[in-house]
Amino acid sequence: MLPVFSLLFLLWLTSLSGFVHATEIVILKSSELPYYEQAVLGFKAGMPATTKVKEYNLNGQLARGREIGKSLRASPPDLILAVGLKATLAAKLEIFDQPVVFCQVLNPDTYGLPASNMTGIAVRTSPEAQLTALRSVIPHRRRIGVLYDEEYSGNFIHDAHRAAKQQGLELVAVAIRGQEDIPQAVRELLPTIDALWLIQDQTVISEAAIPFYLESTLDAKVPLFTFSSTLVQQGALGALVVDAWTVGQQAARIAQSLLKAPNTATSFIQAPEHPQLAVNVSSAEYLGLPPSPETMRLAHQRFGGPGAMAQNPGPASDLIP
């Protein structure tokens, strides 16, 4: 018969056996964009402290990502987090058996995403959510203009027409084929609409086009509603913003669920959680649209004007390339 101390020691060793294998996660990051880094930090903060994390930066090079992916097949981690398009494509092309969670990828269906072993978090909030937020900031405007590229946003705009109708709005959608079409399309659109809705679309959004949108809408006194807190800081009236840290936290919860139940079906995309309303108080006053107390209460981010968060415009880090 074993002494009591020996028996307790054996029981202690047995209890430790389930913790011998620490969870190993690899993070593939497309580049050093602050928006990507915030998602990574949110993810790390959401994982248990015992998780082993190894991080790779692709520096914008898909070829580098593929080489890293090939090397991971020899000693695969328990899960991979891919942040950004090139990191996600590298994982899709090289990782076939391990679970992959991806985020910060605009229009994933354009690239055949997600693959069978992948789960993603959408960059865009739904048209219903965006239009509801728009109406909260501009409650008495009904005719909403929007630019889009059919290749990237055709399905989104189709859903937006339905959502607009349900909310008593008229959506004036103008298709463009290239960024050179933007100036003429905006000039023709502004006199006919009550507000311009700027969506995440590779053709519609660029660093070069942003100043034109801001200046044109302010000159025409047409409210601009967007998806970026940076643009709200720079003069847009409002936005429904997906916070990168929150996306990272959401990715961590998905990752833990997959690690606990490895056979869980993947190949789906989740909506981003807890989008935040941003409002520029100074722009609202300039446009003659002072936000209601309810709007101010709902706004997580407020810029300009008395009582608002005074912040200087930073780089457009929340504009997904």
Domain residue ranges in the chain: 4-124+245-270, 127-241+276-303
CATH homologous superfamily of 4-124+245-270: Response regulator (3.40.50.2300)
Neighbours of 286 (CB within 10 A): 15
CB contact set of 122 (below 8 Å; sequence gap of 6+): 108, 269, 270, 271, 272
3-state secondary structure of 283: helix
Please identify which residue in the block is written with the tokens 């100074």: 282
- For every one of its 321 residues, what pLDDT tens digit does the chain have, with 9 covering 90 and above? 445 444 444 444 444 444 446 899 999 999 999 999 999 999 999 999 999 999 999 999 999 999 999 999 999 999 999 999 999 999 999 999 999 999 999 999 889 999 999 999 999 999 999 999 999 999 988 999 999 999 999 999 999 999 999 999 999 999 999 999 999 999 999 999 999 999 999 999 999 999 999 999 999 999 999 999 999 999 999 999 999 999 999 999 999 999 998 777 677 899 999 999 999 999 999 999 999 999 999 899 999 865 444 344 444 456 554
3-state secondary structure of 11: helix
Q: Which residues pair with 102 in a beta bridge?
A: 82, 120
Tokens (6 digits) for 2: 């074993």
Q: Which residues pair with 224 in a beta bridge?
A: 196
pLDDT of residue 265: 63
CATH 3.40.50.2300 fits 127-241+276-303, yes or no: yes
CA distance 111 to 120: 13
Helix residue ranges per DSSP H, 17-103: 34-46, 62-74, 85-94
Please identify which residue in the block is written with the tokens 């302010």: 218
**pTM for the full model?**
0.85
The reply to whether domains 4-124+245-270 and 127-241+276-303 share a CATH topology is yes
pLDDT of residue 263: 72
Neighbours of 283 (CB within 10 A): 23
Number of H helices, E strands in the chain: 12, 13
Cα dihedral sign, 95-101-107-108 = positive
Neighbours of 110 (CB within 10 A): 13
Cβ atoms 9, 39 nearer than 8 A? no
pLDDT of residue 128: 97
pLDDT of residue 230: 93
pLDDT of residue 318: 63
